[in-house]
Chains A and B, each alone.
Chain A
Amino acid sequence: MRVLGLETSCDETAAAIVDGERRIIVDLVLSQLDEHRPYGGVVPEIAARSHLDHLDRLTAAALRQGGMTLGEVDAIAATAGPGLIGGLLVGVTFGKALALASGKRFLAINHLEGHALSPRLSDGIAFPYLLLLVSGGHCQTLLVAGIGRYRRLGTTVDDAAGEAFDKGAKLLGLGYPGGPAIEAAAARAEAAGADPTQFALPRPMLGRPGCDFSFSGLKTALRERVIALGGIGRLGEADRDALALALQEAIAASLADRTARALARAQGEGAAPTALVVAGGVAANRRIRASLAEVARSAGLPMVAPPASLCTDNAAMIAWAGIERLRAGAGDESLVAARPRWPLDPDAPKAVGAGVKA
């Protein structure tokens, strides 16, 4: 079984072909980072235009590099949500047109389901498992019990963890995207012997009941420290880097605390997770990875982190979710519409302020 996957939900245009033996035959990603960088964030209209400019050539290249024609794939799977509607419509419409003209099945994939099932593509792990999904657009813990069986345990009530990095980097004058910039600055501060506790940044939600995340208070506290030290764009390099270290420590501590609680809750409710899976772009941060590995170790579970290429936005996980859903009996979904909001667990309570991130 082979599925062509398409991903256009945010600022990467991606096409990939994956087979039923967990082989990623081809995996192409075109980042729009340079187009959005001057604006300090993703501009939806620019993203939508760029997806349309590139998706057909990228898909043709995927088929060519995969050494196959459209006739040789079993289905076409495209991200139908959640995400920026302009880009979603491009990917979904293009995918449906491919399916219509080639007589293939079309599958409308939830982007979060792509992330949720990605450790089964990379590591072949068994259900159930606890997933921490941390990216610029999402921050949630999910108990993944089976295909289509997802229970959200915690979610952010305001910003995603990746946003905390991006907004923090902006305040510190470290540029966009913020994650790698903060990590590099934090490493410099550490090498210089900075004390990560010197600025007394809050550790959001630490010890609070429940499993939800919150990062907007941390952002406010960081802004206050920046202003006290001279203001945005006027920080000395040492202060700037030390604040980056403090920010990274606070985010890592908060993620670890909330994830440990979600894990305990899942286990307390009788689930026996086989692993703690950490996915999403923020999982690339080494400090965060180390603190989550500690959480897994304390719970006696392995930590599984799919490779970076599967953690950031990609189409291989979309194709793989298509394969899993076909095996679970999914039919043609040509009539399913793109939707900006699409919670993986529709029964979970709405998180005020989190928008599509929940």
Chain B
Amino acid sequence: MSATILAFDSAGAAVSAALCRGGVALAARSEPMERGHGERLLPLLKAVMAEAATGFDALDAIAVAVGPGRFTGLRIGVAAARGLALATGKPAIGIGSFEAAAAAALAEGPARSAILVAIDSRREELFVQLFDRAGEAVGAPLVATPDAIAATLPAGALLVTGDGARLMERALAGRGDVRILAAALRPEILARRAEAALRQGHMEPARPIYLRAPDAKLPAPPP
């Protein structure tokens, strides 16, 4: 049986949403934006539900990209997902943006090498994680500068994807077999992974993956 899933992503430089059945989008919208994700996400969700002529009571689950990404965008996505989950009684399933980006790259065609997912953190450091050619995570997520990341990578061919892939280009210039792939993270990818999670009975509520502690300094002890 194929699940009906409302999937969306507001963690990067766009807001994207799709109403999917069996991993296929019945309606999809995407708007590139640098700011204002909070104002556009709910209207976009309303629009895809209307276009697919589907009521919220027909949903089996909500799928949301949980980052890493922009803190505010992540929270907007997860807050919306949890609100929809409470109102519908259906689970809000969080899909990590690294695994989603790796899956998006593989959806373009089989990989012949390891996959490095790089996500723009809008600072000097990037969020990255390494996957094997089948899309299984190899290492732990990392927050580091492009040069520091390059120093940790194994030798051999590499496929670099994610919205921060271009930011790795210079640091990887000395390597031979590097391919940069700009693969759009379509919400269908999130829906497919959520459907798989749903079948396995995975019901952890969606929560953001920040990978960075809040900027806050503990006060100095009195002199």
A residues near B (Cβ < 8 Å) are 38-40, 43, 45-46, 48-49, 52-53, 55-56, 59-60, 70, 85-86, 89-98, 100-102, 173, 231-234, 334-335, 337-338
Chain A residues, Cβ within 8 Å of B148 = none
Q: Who on chain B is nearest to A337 by CB?
A: B39
- Residue from B41, B43, B83, B88 whose CB has the most chain A CB atoms within 10 Å: B83
Q: Is B158 among interface residues, defined by CB-CB distance under 8 A?
A: no
Within 8 A of A (CB), among B59-110: 71-72, 75-76, 78-88
Contact A45 B80 (CB under 8 A): no
Instruction: Check A97/B208 contact, CB under 8 A, given A40-B219, A46-B214, A89-B75.
Output: no
Instruction: Check A52/B208 contact, CB under 8 A, given A90-B75, A93-B79.
Output: yes
Kindly list the 5 A-B residue pairs having the minimum CB-CB distance in the complex, ordered from nearest.
Answer: A97-B83, A233-B222, A101-B87, A45-B214, A93-B79
Docked CA distance A91–B214 (Å): 19
Chain A proximity of B115: nearest CB distance (Å): 29
Chain B residues, Cβ within 8 Å of A97 = 42, 45, 79-84, 87
Chain A proximity of B48: nearest CB distance (Å): 12
Chain A proximity of B81: nearest CB distance (Å): 8
Chain B proximity of A78: nearest CB distance (Å): 10
What 0/1 readout, one digit per residue, does chain B (29-64) give for beta carbons within 8 Å of chain A?
000000010110111011000000000100000000
Docked CA distance A287–B72 (Å): 41
Question: Of B207, B218, B223, which is within 8 A of A39 by CB?
Answer: B218
Contact B38 A338 (CB under 8 A): yes
Chain B residues, Cβ within 8 Å of A55 = 79, 82
Instruction: Check A45/B38 contact, CB under 8 A, given A93-B83, A100-B56, A173-B222.
Output: no
Chain A residues, Cβ within 8 Å of B215 = 45
Chain B residues, Cβ within 8 Å of A232 = 222-223
Chain B residues, Cβ within 8 Å of A56 = 82-83, 85-86, 205
Chain A residues, Cβ within 8 Å of B42 = 93, 96-97, 100, 334
Docked CA distance A338–B75 (Å): 14
Contact A43 B80 (CB under 8 A): no
Question: Of A49, A90, A96, A102, which is within 8 A of B210 by CB?
Answer: A49
* A interface: dominant SS: helix
B residues near A (Cβ < 8 Å) are 36, 38-39, 41-43, 45-46, 56, 71-72, 75-76, 78-88, 205, 207-208, 210, 214-219, 222-223
For the complex with contacts A49-B208, A100-B87, 7 further pairs of A-B residues with Cβ separation under 8 Å are A39-B218, A49-B214, A90-B79, A93-B76, A93-B83, A100-B83, A231-B223
Docked CA distance A233–B219 (Å): 13
Chain A residues, Cβ within 8 Å of B72 = 48, 85-86, 89
Chain A residues, Cβ within 8 Å of B46 = 100
Chain B residues, Cβ within 8 Å of A91 = 79
Chain B residues, Cβ within 8 Å of A49 = 75, 208, 210, 214
Chain B proximity of A317: nearest CB distance (Å): 21
Contact A94 B218 (CB under 8 A): no
Contact A92 B222 (CB under 8 A): no
Q: Who on chain B is nearest to A56 by CB?
A: B82
Contact A94 B83 (CB under 8 A): yes
Q: Who on chain A is nearest to B39 by CB?
A: A337
Chain A proximity of B64: nearest CB distance (Å): 11
Q: Who on chain A is nearest to B85 by CB?
A: A56
Docked CA distance A352–B86 (Å): 42
Question: Of A43, A95, A102, A173, which is within 8 A of B216 by CB?
Answer: A43
Chain A proximity of B156: nearest CB distance (Å): 38
Contact A70 B86 (CB under 8 A): yes
Docked CA distance A334–B42 (Å): 8
Chain B residues, Cβ within 8 Å of A98 = 83-84, 86-87
Chain B proximity of A321: nearest CB distance (Å): 20
Chain B residues, Cβ within 8 Å of A70 = 86-87
Chain B residues, Cβ within 8 Å of A92 = 38
Chain B proximity of A178: nearest CB distance (Å): 14
